[in-house]
Amino acid sequence: MRIHVLSNVNLAPLVSRITGYEVTLGDYGDVLRTLTDPNTNFVAEVLMVLLDGDELMDSGDLYAEIPTVVDNFAKSHPEIVVIASTICPSPSTSSTYEISQTKGGRSAQGRAYESAIVEVATANTNVIIFDVKLVFDKYGREKLTSSTFWYAGRIPYTTLWFEECGRYVAGLLDAYAGRTRKVLVCDLDGTLWGGILGEDGPSGIALGEDGVGKCYRDLQRQIKTLLENGVLLALTSKNNRTEVDDVFTGHPMMILQPEDFVATRVGWGDKVSSLVAIAEDLSLGLDSFVFLDDNPVERAMISENLPAVAVPDFPARPELLLKWFVDEVVFPYFPRVRVLDSDRNKTAQYQARNERISEAESVVDLDAFIERLEIQLDIRTDDEFSVERAAQMTQKTNQFNLTTKRCTPDQIKAWMDSSDHAVFTLAYQDRFGDEGIVGLAVIALSTADIPVFLLSCRIIGRKVERSLLRCIEEFAVQNDLTEIKCLFVPTEKNSVSAEFLNESGWVIERAEVAGGISYRKDLS
């Protein structure tokens, strides 16, 4: 992916710091012209407007123009992701204390700019905010700015600033594209509480509102907030199950509760086997997992035997837990740009899924079991309220996904607004719970092509994909189509998609085209 950067200062060192992306720079100081000139020509999927606060505040009313210009550009270029930075002007000027005293002062202007940029991002799904205060607050202005570089080449920042900005921008784009981990697997002793349960007993572990115990309780609070972001929690611990249950049910300082975890493995087996079993239970790849454990031996065992699992180092002192968790676990592995209702319901959905699986394993007649699920489907066409969720599914769904084509909200919206396309979303619920929107398909009428057809792995095996395909077929016939076509692009994970095509009356038209296999289905 290519990023074109606009700024009012020289950001040349940033080019090599955003790893995984091809970065180009516009001429510094040429921000307004680039954003407003209809003949502007740059080749990039991402445009970043990264402005220096001091230079912006010294440019008259320019700070008031930029948000409107960014808003207009975003609306006229929905196919481009726009990253707009906040600003962090220096609080020390010759105005001394006056800078903060008046509505027209520098501090008020900075806040007004930030508020306006946030409004632009709220109004445009292709605009995301890069908050430079993440860097300034972490390291301090003295370590991040350089008068020497500024007067030598109009570069106001140090190498550290460029390295950290590059890291945060790459993480921001990963979050926007949904390239995040899904499951946080936690140990107990020395991780969620201090001490060793088997030696100290439930009343002797460190967990409370004072001293070392507060360090662990605050960590649990932070972990609990991840549930709201759609992260799944799992538990693996070498302990006696009854003692662990006693802590969860009887310790008054426990923040996390049994219902917060979608999978639990407590016993004396090795944790490699535990993680493999949890992955199988959740039907998720190990590359979706992050493993937290204070024991370096356990971490090394997971790293060596399950290299797909992310295993961050653990802090040596409990007072470092909170900062470490945010900086070294949440930002690298679980970043979010926007949180949807479907994210907040993720734990409940997986718990309901576990109940379905448990009941299904006790029956012989799968068709009868599916009938007893009392499945209710809500298939809608061009539902504008589902744009964000539809785009999110394209970013995250890998198993039942014909092409694994990744889409932005604006691409989904453009299809909905097009008279040549129809976007189908499928919502699912049964007697165990409501899964929300779990299916997506798009058809282009002019070509009879289906560029997107996917289904969440949570409901694979319940034959709902047949209902989604049937709706598409009926829609195609109503629009005088005699056939429909699709492309299957094989990956390591999506073979179930090909099986569905072969079982549903599709025939191979061409075996090798655009990196995949072209299928056709006759509707006449």
Q: For residue 412, give both structure tokens.
A: 């989904």
Looking at the fold, whether 154 and 97 belong to one and the same domain comes out as yes
Output the pLDDT for position 362. Answer: 52
Half-sphere exposure of residue 453, counting CA atoms within 13 Å on the CB side?
Answer: 29
Looking at the fold, whether 148 and 278 belong to one and the same domain comes out as no
Asked which of 177, 211, 239 is the last residue of a domain, the reply is 177
Asked which of 276, 306, 337 is the last residue of a domain, the reply is 337
Query: Exposed, middle or buried by CB within 10 Å (0-12, 13-18, 19+), for 449?
Result: middle
Looking at the fold, whether 148 and 200 belong to one and the same domain comes out as no
Output the pLDDT for position 79. Answer: 87
CATH (domain of 387)? 3.40.630.30
Does the residue 306 lie in any domain? Answer: yes
Does the residue 454 lie in any domain? Answer: yes
Looking at the fold, whether 508 and 363 belong to one and the same domain comes out as yes
CATH (domain of 260)? 3.40.50.1000
Residue 232 CA, distance from chain mean position: 13
Q: For residues 465 and 456, give the distance between their C-alpha atoms in angstroms, rounded to a whole number.
A: 10
**Residue holding tokens 């070498």?**
238
Output the pLDDT for position 364. Answer: 46
pLDDT tens column, 451-480: 999 998 777 778 899 999 999 999 999 999
Q: What is the pTM of this model?
A: 0.72
Going from the C-alpha of 261 to that of each of 185, 244, 360, 458, 467, the distances in angstroms are 9, 14, 21, 17, 32
Does the residue 42 lie in any domain? Answer: yes
Looking at the fold, whether 166 and 268 belong to one and the same domain comes out as no
Contacts 24+ apart (CB under 8 A), 320-327: 321/215, 321/216, 321/218, 321/219, 322/215, 322/218, 322/219, 322/222, 325/219, 325/222, 325/223, 326/222, 327/138
Asked which of 177, 195, 216 is the last residue of a domain, the reply is 177
User: Going by C-beta distance under 8 Å and a sequence separation of 6 or more, which residues neighbour residue 361?
Assistant: none
Does the residue 348 lie in any domain? Answer: no
Domain holding 97, by residue range, is 2-177
What number of other Cβ atoms are within 10 A of residue 373's Cβ?
16
What are the pLDDT tens digits along the chain (524 aa)?
899 999 999 999 999 999 989 999 988 778 888 888 877 777 889 999 999 988 888 887 787 899 999 999 999 888 899 999 999 888 766 666 666 666 666 777 788 899 999 999 999 989 999 999 999 999 999 999 999 999 999 999 999 999 999 999 999 998 888 889 999 999 999 999 999 998 888 989 999 999 999 999 999 999 999 988 889 999 999 988 999 999 999 999 999 999 999 999 998 888 999 999 999 888 888 999 999 999 998 999 999 999 999 999 999 999 999 999 999 999 999 998 876 666 666 677 676 666 665 655 555 455 776 777 888 999 999 998 899 899 989 988 888 999 988 898 889 999 999 999 999 999 998 887 888 899 999 999 999 999 999 998 777 778 899 999 999 999 999 999 999 999 999 988 888 898 999 999 999 988 777 778 999 999 98
Count of the separate structural domains present in the chain:
3
Looking at the fold, whether 136 and 271 belong to one and the same domain comes out as no
CB 111 within 8 A of CB 118: no
Does the residue 351 lie in any domain? Answer: no
Q: For residues 441 and 439, give the distance between their C-alpha atoms in angstroms, rounded to a whole number.
A: 7
CB 51 within 8 A of CB 22: no
